[in-house]
Structures are given as structure tokens and as C-alpha cells.
Amino acid sequence: MAARLVAGDACEPSLLEHAGALAADLVVAVTGADEGNLVISLLAKRRFSVPRVTARVNEADNTWLFDSHWGVDVVVPIAAPLISLIEEATEATDTVALLRLSKAGVAVIETAITSQSRASGRTLGEMRLPEGTIVATVVRNGQPTVPDPSVLLRPGDELLLVSHSATEQEIHAAFQ
């Protein structure tokens, strides 16, 4: 399985189609806007018949919307607990599995770039990711960014990766 990065508005059906939604086994909607995540989920499930759709809820009051009616199979917890989990976990290690979505067969793994990391000073496009792994976002100064291949990784960056096969150790080896 190969992962492709396509930058743009994933709420546009043509972009999802260009990104390969017609052949996708899984779509993960992790934008910073609940409306966007719901639209992406609904398009993935209904228009492209993607078997598994995972979506992040950003606002706790919107959690009730993230269900099968909107095409969501697995809900990723709201940002505040996820950020707390990241902060807690990264005090002990630089790479950690944050969430295992057993029904979807994927894990969400976080790794932090330090000045000693092999990835520091390299672009995302230069990194060799383990098979079946994509970068969902790069968090810099508390702000998530689109994981474009030209993004230069710097100490302090936190990467959230989604993988159906890589282990924490493989992610660690790729970036640290």
C-alpha cells in the first residue's frame, strides 16, 4: 500500500477522488474544523464507498454528530485530551502510540523532533516512512500544518502519523 499526499480542500469531491478515495480502504479526517471532518467523512463513505472512516472531533459539543449518519465509523477523541496525552507521553519518550483503532486496523503514533533527531533539518519528502504510514499533521508552535513534502522539520515539531502496519519502534527509527 502506498500513501500519497495531495494538498487542497478535502471537502471537494474532486480532490478526494484525485487523492485516491475510490480505491481507499480508510479515510482519516483530522482537520481543525468539525464541519470539514464531517463533510469529508460523509463524502468518503457515501460517494466513494470507503469501508472505514475515522474522524476527529474538535469541539466536545459536536461529538453527537460523529456517527454513522455522517459516515463516521471511528471517532478520534477531542483535541484537549489528545493534546494532554501527547504532553504526558512525550515526557517519557519521543515516540509513542497514542491511539490504536483496532476496528480500523490503524494506530495513531506521535513522534517529536529534537535537535538530535535524524529528521531535523530534512523535509518530509526526504523521509522514508514505513510501509502503510502517512503523516497526518505536523504540529509546530502548537499549530497543526498540512504535511506537505516541502515542510522542513525542525526541533520542537511534533508529527502525528497514521499507520496500519508500522510499530512505534519503526516510526522512531525513521525519525530519530
Cα gap 152→132, rounded to integer Å: 22
For 135, the grid coordinates are 503523516
Lookup result for grid cell 494506530: 107
What average pLDDT does range 57-77 have in this prediction? 87
| pLDDT over 70 at 104, yes or no | no
Give the contacts of 144 (CB within 8 A, at least 6 positions apart).
32, 137, 138
Report pLDDT for 78.
60
Percent of the chain with pLDDT strictly greater than 90:
38
What average pLDDT does range 57-62 have in this prediction? 86
Report which residue type is found at 84. S
For 30, the grid coordinates are 483530522
Confidence class for position 86, pLDDT limits 50, 70, 90: very low
Cα gap 5→53, rounded to integer Å: 17
Q: Is the model's pTM score more than 0.75?
A: no
Lookup result for grid cell 478515495: 21
Select the more confidently predicted residue: 88 or 56.
Answer: 56
From the CB of residue 170, how many other CB atoms can be counted at a distance below 10 Å? 17
Select the more confidently predicted residue: 84 or 129.
Answer: 129
Confidence class for position 92, pLDDT limits 50, 70, 90: very low
Tens digit of each residue's pLDDT (9 = 90 or more) over 7-18: 788 899 999 998
Q: Which domains does the chain have, with CATH numbers?
A: 13-76 (3.40.50.720), 80-175 (3.30.70.1450)
* Three-state SS at 147: coil
Report pLDDT for 89.
43
Report pLDDT for 149.
92
Tens digit of each residue's pLDDT (9 = 90 or more) over 110-148: 888 999 999 999 999 999 999 989 898 898 888 888 888
C-beta of residue 149 within 8 angstroms of C-beta of residue 124: yes
Report pLDDT for 77.
66
For 87, the grid coordinates are 504532553
60: enclosing H helix or E strand = none
Mean of the per-residue pLDDT values of the chain: 82
